[in-house]
Amino acid sequence: MTENRLDKMRGELRRGVLVLAVLSSLKQPHYGYSLRKQLQDAGIDIDEGTLYPLVRRLAEQGLLDSEWQQAEGRERRYYQLSTLGGELLQQLTEEWQQLNGALGNLLEQL
């Protein structure tokens, strides 16, 4: 398999997982940089050009609450799961666990 094809497939795998990772990380309030750092520390590398539009889209969908706060002499927009976002996170987590278990079984058969 060529490296270019692998990169495309890797991107497809990551796309849905990133939503779950961001929602999970926003159980606690974060601003953009702190969210990106938490994800990177967990082993999920995400660039700003992907993260910020994703967070804005999730907020527009009502899954995140946001507010401006003064921190370290700067105003920062902090995001956190909304009630709706928490409900969706629970449902997506259950779905992820079922898919992960099924996929694990399939991969063990190889």
**pLDDT tens per residue across span 88-107:** 999 999 999 999 999 999 99
Spatial separation of the C-alpha atoms in residues 27 and 13, rounded to whole Å: 23
Q: What is the pLDDT of residue 51?
A: 95
Q: Stretch 36-62: mean pLDDT, rounded?
A: 95
Residues 6+ apart with CB under 8 A from 51: 22, 32, 35, 36, 39
Domain CATH number, residue 38:
1.10.10.10
**pLDDT tens per residue across span 1-31:** 578 899 888 888 888 899 999 999 999 999 9
The boundaries of the domain holding residue 14 are 3-109
Radius of gyration of the chain (CA): 16
